[in-house]
Structure 1
Amino acid sequence: MALEEGPARVILGGMHISAKADYATRALVELACDTERPLTCEAMASSQEIPFRFLKSVVGDLRRAGLVRSQRGCEGGYWLGRPASDITLLDVVRAVDGELITLRGEPLSGLAYPGPADALPEIWREVEERAGEVLAGTTVESLVRRSRRPAARLAAEAV
């Protein structure tokens, strides 16, 4: 299975992870690594090489979901809205994308096929369930701990 990266998504076969989910997760990891001060969108975008305007929109989604909180003013920026150990990748995907997996833009919940393909929607829902289990079992803190950057690992150990 080939892995392709592009500005809009990471593609594994025919499935993809949205750029919003990818960028949101990367921003949360940045915030988890620097808990001493709020970080600006500019700093996170620069550090992660993410388009600033897109990240600003994504961080707005994270704020509305309670995953980050903001501080205004010249010393302003963003903090994690709750501990990194309490933020799962499933939380992130749901915050920025809504449904985990869709088919032609529609949720899988009401999907039904006639005739001999009637079992297929059950398989698509099982794929969604298993992907959800992996994402629910992965926290922002665990990503920081798995980082190959020593500074990130040290930040996680200090928590």
Structure 2
Amino acid sequence: MRISARADYAVRAALLLAAGESEGPLKAESIAEAQDIPHKFLEGILNDMRRGGLVTSRRGAHGGYQLARPAAEISVADVVRAVDGPLVSVRDVRPPELSYSGPAESLLPLWIALRANVRRILEGVSLADVASGHLPGEVHALAEDPAAWSNP
């Protein structure tokens, strides 16, 4: 799985909105500056997140963007899907739509298992978890493995 710049920027923007949830809407310019995200690129991302039902926007002097529901109810997977589509695909095809033959036949269950694990992690972590710094134990355990930090 590859995390695109769009997905990274979207999650970072959503986390900023989650951290300031009680303070009202944030302007795109403020989000872009705070997270060092190109403003025009962020506008497209925020529009995708709005269409995906994750943020709402309001025009005017007191306008801006805010989360459409509490941060504890929005998973990292929700944000990634809103801007990038499916979490795991192979050649832009969802694994269940693939078929292989011969020695490659076992690839399909491998891709499905990969998708299940990515889902389990990203769907199990809310914006509130990340914004508060309280990641689930399973995520901590995986990240504490020294092999997770090296590139073979």
Scaled to the shorter chain, the TM-score interval is: 0.7 to 0.9
Q: 2:9 aligns with which of 23, 34, 44?
A: 23
Match of 1:43 in 2: 30
SS at match of 1:109: helix
TM-score by length of structure 1 reads 0.80
SS at match of 1:17: coil
Higher relative contact order (CA 8 A, sep 6+): 2
Residue 112 of structure 1, CA deviation: 1.1
Any stretches of 5+ residues in structure 1 without a counterpart? 1-14, 148-159
Match of 1:33 in 2: 19
> How large is the RMSD of aligned CA atoms in angstroms?
1.2
Q: 1:112 aligns with which of 76, 99, 108?
A: 99
TM-score by length of structure 2 reads 0.84
When you count helix as a share of all residues, which structure comes out higher? 2
When you count strand as a share of all residues, which structure comes out higher? 1
For residues 109 and 98 of structure 2, what CA distance do their matches in structure 1 show?
9
SS at match of 1:73: coil
Corresponding pairs, count: 133
Match of 2:44 in 1: 57
Taking only the aligned residue pairs, the percentage that are identical comes to 44
Residue 117 of structure 1, CA deviation: 1.2
Which digits, 9 at most, give the CA deviation of each residue in 1:9-29, with x for residues without a partner?
Answer: xxxxxx311111111111111
For residues 66 and 145 of structure 1, what CA distance do their matches in structure 2 show?
22
Which digits, 9 at most, give the CA deviation of each residue in 1:99-132, with x for residues without a partner?
Answer: 1111122221211111121011110111011100
Residue 37 of structure 1, CA deviation: 2.3
SS at match of 1:79: strand
User: Counterparts of 1:73-112 in structure 2 under 5 Å?
Assistant: 73-112=60-99
Aligned partner letter, 1:105: D
Match of 2:118 in 1: 131
Residue 52 of structure 1, CA deviation: 0.8
SS at match of 2:7: helix
SS at match of 2:66: strand
Residue 51 of structure 1, CA deviation: 0.9
Any stretches of 5+ residues in structure 2 without a counterpart? 135-152
